[in-house]
């Protein structure tokens, strides 16, 4: 299912930003807090911070690159997750894969 919404990210908890398989997405840290982003193949949360993208507070990760291009080392990457040291909010928009 396509998503265009704000997603609440509890502190120190991997939170799925995608609500279905996606090929690309746009993410912004609207709460001003730094967060890390990680891709997976499927709905199992990441177990490591290896290979994450760090998104500064207020920064935007544009949808001009696919998830596979952003995380080429994650075979079949189709879901994106966020992790933050403090409770945060991310603006997320993606289409279905």
- Residue 61 and residue 24 in contact, taking contact as beta carbons nearer than 8 Å: no
Q: 64 pLDDT exceeds 90?
A: yes
Percent of the chain scored above 90 by pLDDT?
A: 95
Q: Domains of the chain (ranges plus CATH)?
A: 3-94 (2.60.120)
According to DSSP, the residues that pair with 3 across neighbouring strands are: 94
Q: State the CB neighbour count (10 A cutoff) for residue 11.
A: 11
- Residue 29 and residue 56 in contact, taking contact as beta carbons nearer than 8 Å: yes
Both tokens of 7, joined, read: 């997603």
21-38 pLDDT, tens digit per residue, is 999 999 999 998 899 999
Query: In angstroms, rounded to a whole number, what is the distance separating the alpha carbons of residues 91 and 39?
Result: 17
pTM of the model as a whole? 0.95
């Amino acid at each position: 299912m396509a998503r265009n919404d704000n997603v609440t990210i509890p502190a120190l908890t991997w939170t799925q930003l995608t609500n279905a398989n996606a090929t690309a997405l746009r993410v912004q840290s609207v709460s001003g807090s730094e967060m890390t982003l990680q891709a997976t193949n499927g709905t199992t949360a990441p177990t490591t911070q290896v290979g994450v993208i760090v998104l500064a507070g207020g920064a935007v990760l544009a949808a001009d690159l696919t998830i596979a291009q952003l995380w080429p080392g994650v075979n079949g990457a189709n879901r994106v997750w966020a992790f933050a040291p403090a409770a945060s909010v991310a603006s997320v928009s993606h289409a279905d894969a």
